[in-house]
Structure 1
Amino acid sequence: MRVLILEDDPWIADLLKQIVLSLRPGARVDCQVRVADAISAWQREPAQLVIADWNLPDGSGTLLLQAVRSQDRDVALVMITARADRNSVLEVRPLGINAFISKPFQVPKVLDCLRSLLPEDDGPHVAAANDEDFLHHLGALPDEEIDLPLRDELFQQLRDTTAAPSTLEQLGEHWQQDPAVQARLIAAANSSLYNSTGQPCVSLPDAVRRLGSATALNLIQGLALRPAASLQDADLRTLGQNLLQAQLYLQHRVDALAKACQLDPTPLHSAALLQRMGELAVLQQAQIWRNRGLPLSEEQVQQALRQYSGELASRLKADWRLPIGLRELIGACYGLAPGNTRREPILMRLASAELQSADSQEVQRLRRLAGLS
Structure 2
Amino acid sequence: MTELIPAPAVLVAAADSWSRELLGQLVLNVRCDADVQYVGDGPQAIEALRQQPFALALVEQELPLADGLDVLRAARQMRRGEAFILISSRADAASVRAALPLAPTAYLIKPFNAENLRQRLQKLLLVPGQEVVCDLPSMNPQTSLQDFLRTARDSTDGAPLMDGVELAARRCLNAEECVLADLENEFGRDPQITACLIAAANSAAQHVGMSCQTLAQALARLGLTQALNLALGVSLQRAAQLDEPLLKQSAEQFWDLSQRCADSAQTLALALGADAPRCYTAGLLHCLGELALLRSLQDWCNGGGELDEDEIEGCLRELGAGFGSALRARWRLPLELRELIAAAYGVSAGVFSREALILNLAASAVRMPQEQRGELLESKAARMLGLKSAQRRLLEAL
Q: Provide the residue aligned with 2:124 in structure 1.
A: 117
Secondary structure in 2 aligned to 1:148?
coil
Instruction: Please report how far the alpha carbon of residue 87 of structure 1 lies from its aligned counterpart in structure 2 after TM superposition.
Output: 4.3
Amino acid at match of 2:152: L
Q: Provide the residue aligned with 2:207 in structure 1.
A: 195
Conserved 8 A contact 1:155-1:229: no
Secondary structure in 2 aligned to 1:140?
helix
* Shift in alpha-carbon separation, 1:361–1:299, aligned structure 2, 3 A: closer
Conserved 8 A contact 1:3-1:27: yes
RMSD: 2.5
1:57-76 to 2 correspondences below 5 Å: 57-76=64-83
* Shift in alpha-carbon separation, 1:133–1:342, aligned structure 2, 3 A: same
Conserved 8 A contact 1:353-1:363: no
In structure 1, runs of 5+ residues without a counterpart are none
Find out whether 1:325 has 2:340 as its counterpart.
no
Instruction: Please report how far the alpha carbon of residue 52 of structure 1 lies from its aligned counterpart in structure 2 after TM superposition.
Output: 1.2
Please, which moves more after superposition, 143-152 or 27-36?
A: 143-152
Q: Provide the residue aligned with 2:272 in structure 1.
A: 261
Find out whether 1:184 has 2:199 as its counterpart.
no
Q: Deviations over 1:62-112 (max 9, x none)?
A: 221222222233311111123344543343233221122221111110101
2:187 maps to which of 165, 171, 175:
175
Amino acid at match of 1:355: V
* Shift in alpha-carbon separation, 1:133–1:156, aligned structure 2, 3 A: farther
Amino acid at match of 2:88: T
Amino acid at match of 1:200: S
Conserved 8 A contact 1:3-1:48: yes
Instruction: Please report how far the alpha carbon of residue 192 of structure 1 lies from its aligned counterpart in structure 2 after TM superposition.
Output: 2.2
Find out whether 1:313 has 2:327 as its counterpart.
no
Conserved 8 A contact 2:258-2:284: yes
**Distance of 2:90 and 2:60 partners within structure 1:** 11
1:94 maps to which of 101, 117, 125:
101
**Distance of 2:182 and 2:207 partners within structure 1:** 27
Q: Provide the residue aligned with 2:387 in structure 1.
A: 372
Q: Deviations over 1:36-63 (max 9, x none)?
A: 1111122223322111112334232122
**Distance of 2:59 and 2:320 partners within structure 1:** 38
Q: Deviations over 1:287-321 (max 9, x none)?
A: 22223343333332222212221111111011011
**Distance of 2:272 and 2:61 partners within structure 1:** 50
In structure 2, runs of 5+ residues without a counterpart are 1-7, 389-398
Amino acid at match of 1:239: S
Q: Deviations over 1:122-156 (max 9, x none)?
A: 97533234322222111022734331111013244
1:81 maps to which of 61, 85, 88:
88
* Shift in alpha-carbon separation, 1:297–1:370, aligned structure 2, 3 A: same
1:130 maps to which of 132, 140, 144:
140
**Distance of 2:183 and 2:202 partners within structure 1:** 23
**Distance of 2:202 and 2:235 partners within structure 1:** 22
**Distance of 2:115 and 2:10 partners within structure 1:** 19
Secondary structure in 2 aligned to 1:67?
helix
Please, which moves more after superposition, 105-114 or 121-130?
A: 121-130
Q: Provide the residue aligned with 2:394 in structure 1.
A: none
**Distance of 2:230 and 2:256 partners within structure 1:** 24
2:293 maps to which of 282, 291, 294:
282
Conserved 8 A contact 1:147-1:281: yes
Please, which moves more after superposition, 27-36 or 12-21?
A: 27-36
**Distance of 2:158 and 2:175 partners within structure 1:** 23
**Distance of 2:280 and 2:304 partners within structure 1:** 37
Please, which moves more after superposition, 166-175 or 270-279?
A: 166-175
Instruction: Please report how far the alpha carbon of residue 368 of structure 1 lies from its aligned counterpart in structure 2 after TM superposition.
Output: 2.6
Conserved 8 A contact 1:159-1:224: no
Q: Deviations over 1:311-358 (max 9, x none)?
A: 111110110111111111111111114122321111111112222337
Conserved 8 A contact 2:289-2:320: yes
1:228-267 to 2 correspondences below 5 Å: 228-267=239-278
> What TM-score do the two structures reach when normalised by structure 1?
0.91
1:30 maps to which of 37, 44, 47:
37
> What TM-score do the two structures reach when normalised by structure 2?
0.86
Conserved 8 A contact 1:13-1:31: yes
Amino acid at match of 1:33: G
**Distance of 1:119 and 1:208 partners within structure 2:** 34
Please, which moves more after superposition, 363-372 or 45-54?
A: 363-372
**Distance of 1:172 and 1:257 partners within structure 2:** 21
- What is the count of residue pairs matched by the alignment? 371
